[in-house]
Amino acid sequence: MLSWLRNEERADGPRGFIGFAVSARMNPVLREEIVATPEDRWQGYAEEGTVSKECAQVEYFPEETPANRYREPLRYVAIRIRQKQGELFADGSAVKYFAVATNLWDWTAKQLLGWHREKAGSIEAAHDVLKNELAGGVLPCSRFGSNAAWFRLAVLTYNVLTAMKRLALPAELLTARPKRLRFLIFNTPGKLIHHARRTVLRLVRTLNRFSNWAGAMRALPLPVAT
């Protein structure tokens, strides 16, 4: 996949530059280069709970395969995670190291890692929602095509919910899972009323349910009736 992305003359896909950032597999040589990175290169990246994260570009250029030998080398950005109070992690280590490989050389390390982490926030959490809350893990039958369509519908639902949270819902619901959205929004009792040649949907408003329907509808890019 990386060789395909790095080949700007790819015959079976769009040509030109495709920027990417992927988690790099840790190996002894890469770890040695990360540990040997001078302290003045490390910069603060994020503070999460009881740990602090730092990042730095690593002078690591592994041997390339013949297909990539004459292409621009990949850039490696390291992440160093330490406990704020100097405590050890559960596995007994004092520091944890990770790395990201990319062909984006113009971005700062912090900008690159922020963009890299936008892949659905966390792919494991996205898989959990798809399988356990959107029924992606419960296939309907034994036919491959039907199961593929079922899973695609689950992925489309996930994307639509994510777009709705980002575009129309308040900030406190940005991390809401489908179960919470179902209770707050989708299962809201309502009644259709026909009056004066108009059809009106009257919704129940309580403290435990979403109520800013007018604001949400205005924020959504709905088609304009002509």
Q: Report the pLDDT value the prediction gives residue 122, as an integer from 0 to 100.
A: 63
The tokens describing 115, both together, are 């963009």
Do the beta carbons of residue 126 and residue 154 sit within 8 Å? no
Calpha distance 68→18 (Å, rounded): 15
Q: Report the pLDDT value the prediction gives residue 120, as an integer from 0 to 100.
A: 56
Q: Report residues of the chain scoring pLDDT below 50.
A: none
3-class SS string, the chain: CHHHHHCCCCCCCCCCCCCCEEECCCCHHHHHHHHCCCHHHCEEEEEECCEEEEEEEECCCCCCCHHHCCCCCCEEEEEEEEECCCCCCCCCCCEEEEEEEECCCCCCHHHHHHHHCCCCCCHHHHHHHHHHCCCCCCCCCCCHHHHHHHHHHHHHHHHHHHHHHHHCCCHHHCCCCHHHHHHHHHCCCEEEEEECCEEEEEECCCCCCCCCHHHHHHHCCCCCCC
Give the global pTM.
Answer: 0.57
For the chain, domain boundaries: 2-119, 124-175, 182-219
Calpha distance 146→139 (Å, rounded): 9
The tokens describing 43, both together, are 């910069």
Do the beta carbons of residue 141 and residue 47 sit within 8 Å? no
Q: Report the pLDDT value the prediction gives residue 121, as an integer from 0 to 100.
A: 54
Do the beta carbons of residue 193 and residue 182 sit within 8 Å? no
Calpha distance 164→216 (Å, rounded): 9
Instruction: Look at residues 37, 33, 14, 15 and name the one whose alpha carbon lies nearest to residue 24.
Output: 33
